[in-house]
């Protein structure tokens, strides 16, 4: 029973860190990465479809993304979706592919993005701590109902704290790596 609580809590905490990684991958650096446009939704036959499900996205150069739709009739819709997104990129089309030139970031924009990264990391750390509190509450109920001993309760709390500390540190490492990537010129 206690191992189930620890396993479920660890799974949820790890998922939170994975979500953080995906969210930070979308934040634009000066470098082109397909993750930048993966989640853009394009109107395809009246259905909002993720761009990565209707085109091949590649980064042949450090500052260039190439989007090659599988259906050429969707190029205009892809252009519109990119322009509507908050990426601030201007697509260039030659009829078969869409090119996105990634401009270098200004120092001010880098600092702003760093603050966004820190905020996202802090949000995820709060979620991880809230998951710890939920597990603590479950353990308290088990102890109150005499399903586990006080010693087992204490040992489990120590394990839970180590787990929490490890995943909070992991979230901080992910954020630090993204900040370093952002500040590279």
Q: Which residue has the tokens 């091949």?
A: 56
Q: Are residues 51 and 95 in the same domain?
A: yes
Query: What's 70's domain CATH number?
Result: 3.30.1360.40
**Percent of the chain at pLDDT above 90?**
35
Per-residue confidence band for 27, with pLDDT thresholds at 50, 70 and 90: confident
pLDDT score of 12: 94
Q: Are residues 60 and 16 in the same domain?
A: no
Do residues 117 and 179 touch, judged by C-beta distance below 8 A? yes
Q: Is 81 helix (H, G, I), strand (E, B) or coil?
A: helix
Q: Are residues 7 and 61 in the same domain?
A: no
pLDDT score of 16: 94
Number of domains forming the structure of the chain:
2
Per-residue confidence band for 29, with pLDDT thresholds at 50, 70 and 90: low
Q: Containing domain of residue 75, as a range?
A: 34-101
Q: Of 45, 78, 101, which closes a domain?
A: 101
Do residues 168 and 128 touch, judged by C-beta distance below 8 A? yes
- For residue 26, give Cα distances in angstroms to 19, 49, 83, 107, 136: 11, 17, 16, 19, 34
Burial class (CB in 10 A: 0-12, 13-18, 19+), 115: exposed
Q: Of 101, 118, 147, which closes a domain?
A: 101
Query: What's 161's domain CATH number?
Result: 1.10.132.20
pTM, full prediction: 0.70
Q: Are residues 14 and 47 in the same domain?
A: no
* Digit-coded pLDDT (tens) for 95-150: 888 998 887 778 887 888 888 899 999 999 999 999 999 999 999 998 888 888 88
Q: Are residues 96 and 127 in the same domain?
A: no
Q: Are residues 51 and 11 in the same domain?
A: no
Three-state SS string across 99-167, please? EEECCCCCHHHHHHHHHHHHHHHHHHHHHHHHHHHHHHHHHHHHHHCCCCCHHHHHHHHHHHHHHHHHH
Q: Are residues 118 and 178 in the same domain?
A: yes
Average pLDDT for residues 70-78, to the nearest whole number?
Answer: 88
């Amino acid at each position: 029973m206690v191992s189930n609580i620890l396993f479920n809590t660890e799974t949820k905490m790890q998922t939170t860190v994975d979500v953080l990684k995906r969210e930070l991958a979308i934040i634009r650096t000066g470098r082109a990465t397909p993750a930048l446009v993966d989640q853009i939704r394009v109107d395809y036959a009246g259905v909002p479809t993720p761009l990565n499900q209707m085109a091949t996205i590649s980064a042949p150069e450090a500052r260039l993304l190439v989007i090659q739709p599988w259906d050429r009739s969707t190029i205009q819709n892809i252009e519109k979706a990119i322009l509507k997104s908050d990426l601030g990129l201007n697509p260039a089309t030659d009829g078969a592919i869409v090119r996105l030139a990634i401009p270098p970031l200004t120092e001010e924009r880098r600092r702003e993005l760093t603050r966004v990264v820190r905020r996202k990391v802090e949000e995820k750390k709060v979620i991880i701590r809230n998951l710890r509190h939920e597990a603590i509450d479950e353990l308290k109920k088990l102890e109150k109902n005499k399903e586990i001993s006080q010693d087992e309760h204490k040992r489990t709390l120590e394990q839970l704290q180590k787990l929490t500390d490890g995943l909070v540190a992991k979230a901080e490492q992910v954020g630090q790596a993204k900040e370093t990537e952002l500040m590279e010129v």
